[in-house]
Chains A and B, each alone.
Chain A
Amino acid sequence: MDIFDAIAEFVIFNLLSMRSGEPFTEALRFFIADMIKVLLLLAVMVFIVSILRTFVTPIRVRKLLGGSKEGAGNFIAALLGVPTPFCSCSAVPLFIGLMEAGVPLGVTFSFLVSSPLINEVAIALLLGLFGWKIAALYVGTGLVIAVASGVLIGRLNLEGEVEGFVYEIRSKGVEEKNLGWGARFRFAKMQTMDILAKVGPFILLGIGLGAFIHGFVPIGSLAELAGSDNPFAVPFVVLIGVPLYSNAAGTIPIIQALMEKGMGIGTALAFMMSVTGLSLPEMIILRRVLKPKLLAVFILILAVSFVMVGLLFNALLA
Chain B
Amino acid sequence: MKIEILGSGCGNCQRLHENVKKACKDLMIDAEIAKVQDFKSIASYGVMATPALVVDGEVKVYGRVPDVVEIKMILKGFTEKGQ
Contact = CB atoms under 8 A, between A and B. Distances in A.
Interface in A275-289: 285, 288-289
A89 B8 contact: yes
A182 to B, nearest CB: 14
A93 B42 contact: yes
A90 B43 contact: no
Q: State the majority secondary structure of interface residues on A.
A: helix
Contact of A169 (B10, B13, B40, B63): B40
A87 B50 CA distance: 9
Given A58-B63, A87-B10, A93 B44 contact: no
Contact of A89 (B7, B44, B62): B7
B46 interface: yes
Q: How large is the interface on B (under 10, 10 to 19, 20 to 34, 35 or more residues)?
A: 20 to 34
B12 A165 contact: no
Contacts of A288: 39
B7 A174 contact: no
A133 interface: no
Nearest to A168: B40
Given A93-B50, A170-B44, A288-B39, 16 more contacts: A58-B48, A59-B48, A62-B48, A85-B63, A88-B10, A89-B12, A90-B48, A92-B8, A92-B39, A94-B49, A96-B39, A96-B43, A98-B48, A169-B44, A171-B46, A172-B45
